[in-house]
Structure 1
Amino acid sequence: MEAHTTVRAGTFSERLAAAAGLALALVLLRLPFRHTVRGARAARRAGRWPMEAAQAEALVNAVRHAARWWPGRAACLETSLGAVLAAALLGRRLDWCLGARFAPPPVEYHAWAQLPAHGPVGEYTAAGWHHHAALTI
């Protein structure tokens, strides 16, 4: 389970989109996975403009901050999909990636949001973690 941030990040509209995106992600993840994928693809198409790295980082942190208020599970799968949906609500585009992250010695399944030309957003890539996507939406 990933750590939740205690720092409020982003503008008011980004925080509002983050809360709405997380709520929508929690609903989508209760459905069969094919419907979740369709919803993520629709959100990807709805985002017309790419995001800048700093704005994407603030949005991912805003979703993680909003997840603090959810009493259930809000780990990488929920927060990454929430960030993609929040970006779509703002008219922006993020990719949703499902795969694994590697570092010596643990290997773990992981989900993350990523900028198409930049890589994973809000992830520990500098500490030796390598992300390998099995599915990118």
Structure 2
Amino acid sequence: MEAYSTVRHSGPLRDRLAAAVGLALALLLLRLPFRITVRAVRLARHLGRRPLDPHRAETLVAAVRHTGRLWPVRAACMETSLGTVLASAFFGRRLNWCLGVRFAPPPTEYHAWAQLPEGEPVGEYTTAGWHHYIALVI
């Protein structure tokens, strides 16, 4: 659903630029071995010392999703969540990158999402009955 969102993003230019660069880096990193991707995310998290506030995080997720609509390649949950984590690092802020599953009324699916350090998923449909279960936090 993320890649085909109809939401238009008209946020600040700096968010849109960070989203484009973050998504481009995410697409590149996901083509490399996963251990290299994990190291890059850990490095990005060290650059972002302070957590991102929830409203700004939602804006950044929307910017990355909107940017993903413009790319000619797949930009689903894995790419957009990683792009959001990398984009937040450009501002010296920190988000967690979570891999796991999300349960709801059928179907149950593998999923990746960005999460605030306090433990709240960002840009996810948690109010619609979706429950996120983490397998790996980076």
User: What's the TM-score once normalised by structure 1's chain length?
Assistant: 0.96
Equivalent in the alignment of 1:20: 21
Q: 1:47 to 1:68 in 2, by over 3 A?
A: same
Equivalent in the alignment of 1:56: 57
Whether the 8 Å CA contact 1:77–1:111 is kept in 2: the answer is yes
Deviation of 1:5 after TM superposition, in Å, equals 4.2
Equivalent position SS for 1:62: helix
Deviation of 1:6 after TM superposition, in Å, equals 3.1
Runs of 4+ residues deviating >2 angstroms: 1-6
Q: Deviations along 1:37-70, whole A, 9 cap, x unmatched?
A: 1111111111021111000000000000111111
Whether the 8 Å CA contact 1:18–1:86 is kept in 2: the answer is yes
- Counterpart residue type for residue 124 of structure 1: Y
CA distance in 2, matches of 1:10, 1:28: 26
CA distance in 1, matches of 2:33, 2:137: 18
Deviation of 1:90 after TM superposition, in Å, equals 1.1
CA distance in 2, matches of 1:5, 1:87: 23
Q: 1:116 to 1:23 in 2, by over 3 A?
A: same
- Counterpart residue type for residue 71 of structure 2: W
Q: Deviations along 1:86-135, whole A, 9 cap, x unmatched?
A: 00011110000000000022110000000011410000000000000100
User: What's the TM-score once normalised by structure 2's chain length?
Assistant: 0.95
CA distance in 1, matches of 2:96, 2:119: 11
Equivalent position SS for 2:127: coil
Q: 1:136 to 1:23 in 2, by over 3 A?
A: same
Matches within 5 A, 1:25-36: 25-36=26-37
Structure 2 residues without counterparts, runs of 5 or longer: none
Equivalent in the alignment of 1:100: 101
Bigger helix share: 2
Structure 1 residues without counterparts, runs of 5 or longer: none
CA distance in 2, matches of 1:82, 1:105: 27
Equivalent position SS for 1:74: coil
Deviation of 1:10 after TM superposition, in Å, equals 2.8
Whether the 8 Å CA contact 1:25–1:85 is kept in 2: the answer is yes
Equivalent in the alignment of 2:43: 42
Equivalent position SS for 2:43: helix
Aligned length: 137
Deviation of 1:13 after TM superposition, in Å, equals 0.7
Q: State which drifts further: 111-120 or 77-86.
A: 111-120
